[in-house]
Structure 1
Amino acid sequence: MASRRRTRVLITGASSGLGEGIARTYAGQGRDLALAARRIDRLGQLKAELAVAPGAGRIEVARLDVTDFDTVGPVVADLVERLGGLDRAIVNAGAGKGAPLGTGKAHANLETVQTNLTGALAQVEAVLEVFRAQGFGHLVLMSSVAGQRGLPKAQAAYSASKAGLTALGEGLQAEFAGTPIVVSVIKPGYIETDINAGLRSPMMVSREAGVAALAKAIEREPGEAVVPAWPWAPVSALLAHAPTEITRRMV
């Protein structure tokens, strides 16, 4: 369980999907939020909507392109300064583009890996500078069940990027074990968002249920959590050991 209430929270990729959903949940709890995304117009609309809710806390927004690596640090530092500090950072900005490798659409796969892995690394660098300086903080890395096992076709680059993010989180957990800096790797399954718009699966979870499960899992501050636990925890365990004949049919 968390030893402190995390009242000042940074969320990237907050203009839509899971990031927006978590922002709405936290705003309803009166937390102070720093919201970042590429689409600053949508962030502005979200801020205006959340700010008038009863009991709303402070809300700061900024445009952030996580693949513009030189700007990530300054944007994060500015948001933290405006928020008055930082207790938790949710590295959520992500991309789901992709195509079978070698089919002439390398740009989609490169953009996915840049956003989900190197973009996440740039965010982690910026956030950990803050946490190291203050001596505490909760870093949340939004990975995926898809990173549990390399998936084929259009999901290959995406699953590789999320596997890399999980490995990054595991390395940081080993480094910060026993300290007030906590690192959580969260692995969502299929949740109804824009990034999953093209997927058709009987295991798809509604956005409302998915966001509620995510918020609950993050609050526990686990080392790792598969969300929602049903049906995705057993699916994740199966993926780790399933023969290729099964995984090749999953996309």
Structure 2
Amino acid sequence: MSKGTIVITGASAGLGAEMARQFAALGYDLGLCARREEKLEALREEITAAHPERRVELRSLDVTDHETVHTVIHDLAGAFGTLDRIVVNAGLGKGAALGKGRPDANRQTAMTNFVGALSQAEAALEVFRAQEHGHLVMVSSMSALRGMRKAMTVYAATKAGVASLAEGLRSERVPGLDVSVVYPGYIRSEMNEHVAQNTPFMVDTETGTRAMVRAIEKRKAKAYVPAWPWVPIGFLLKRVPLSVVRRMT
């Protein structure tokens, strides 16, 4: 028997793929979305081999294509009959210091991380309002708590925008809707595989994702994950002068 249905975007690798594995193990049926269909197929084979009772639907999705986002979310709602949770996870880690000749990378990051998240939230709320229930999960970042410098400037701004969207929806108090924002710290993933292996506080994908899944299952409004050391770091980041933030990042 299924515990419910979860849609995860950006599910072909990294945190999205690991969330799919862990939610399947908890008993959820899954709608997995990403651009790389062959990776999705491999992930479905892995999950159904480990959990034959699980239903895994796949959809090709580029979250910057608004019309396709709408179509895919509604198609999955029709396929499953109901969607209990949608995890807005798809994102890019590209970026460059503004004025350094890479506006293309910064625009692509903004379109994927913020405009894409907006499209996903829009489609999700159409489904959830019609159902009169649902759990929207927005994956932000610890970098969203303050303005970041150089290559992180646009990425951090987009993730702050994602968190603000979620807070606005919570403030609206849509009947039957729960909204969670997850702020991952340093969790090893495909996005940051170029980062040095000895980066302080970096945890492996499985460990970091487990903390994310626990927070999502509790339907927390806001969660810094893993809690240690990111809860105290988050407390400090929001209060120290920008000159201190500059030295921390």
Q: Alpha-carbon deviations, 1:62-96, whole Å to 9, x = none? A: 11100111211001111221222100010000110
Secondary structure (helix, strand or coil) at the match of 2:138 reads: strand
Give runs of aligned pairs for residues 143-154 of structure 1, distance below 5 A: 143-154=140-151
What's the counterpart of residue 61 of structure 1?
A: 58
Gaps of 5+ in 2: none
Identity %: 48
Q: Alpha-carbon deviations, 1:162-194, whole Å to 9, x = none? A: 0111111100001126x3210011111110001
Cα distance in structure 2, aligned partners of 1:220 and 1:30: 15
Aligned 8 A contact 2:147 2:157 in 1: yes
Give runs of aligned pairs for residues 14-163 of structure 1, distance below 5 A: 14-163=11-160
Offset, 1:121:
0.3
Over 3 Å counting, the alpha-carbon distance change for 1:6 and 1:116 in structure 2 is: farther
Over 3 Å counting, the alpha-carbon distance change for 1:66 and 1:124 in structure 2 is: same
What's the counterpart of residue 184 of structure 1?
A: 180
Aligned 8 A contact 1:145 1:188 in 2: yes
What's the counterpart of residue 205 of structure 1?
A: 203
Cα distance in structure 1, aligned partners of 2:3 and 2:66: 27
Offset, 1:12:
0.4
Offset, 1:8:
0.5
Aligned 8 A contact 1:117 1:162 in 2: yes
The one-letter code of the counterpart of 2:37 is I
Secondary structure (helix, strand or coil) at the match of 2:32 reads: strand
What's the counterpart of residue 227 of structure 1?
A: 225
Aligned 8 A contact 1:32 1:57 in 2: yes
User: Where do 4+ consecutive residues of structure 1 move more than 3 Å?
Assistant: none
Cα distance in structure 2, aligned partners of 1:199 and 1:242: 25
Cα distance in structure 2, aligned partners of 1:239 and 1:141: 20
Cα distance in structure 2, aligned partners of 1:117 and 1:242: 26
What's the counterpart of residue 214 of structure 1?
A: 212
Offset, 1:55:
4.7
Cα distance in structure 2, aligned partners of 1:41 and 1:185: 29
Q: Which moved more, 1:229-238 or 1:152-161?
A: 229-238
Cα distance in structure 1, aligned partners of 2:248 and 2:107: 22
Cα distance in structure 2, aligned partners of 1:92 and 1:145: 14
Offset, 1:250:
3.3
The one-letter code of the counterpart of 1:150 is G
Gaps of 5+ in 1: none
Secondary structure (helix, strand or coil) at the match of 1:248 reads: helix
* TM-score (normalised: structure 1): 0.94
Q: Alpha-carbon deviations, 1:29-59, whole Å to 9, x = none? A: 2311000001111001111121122353110
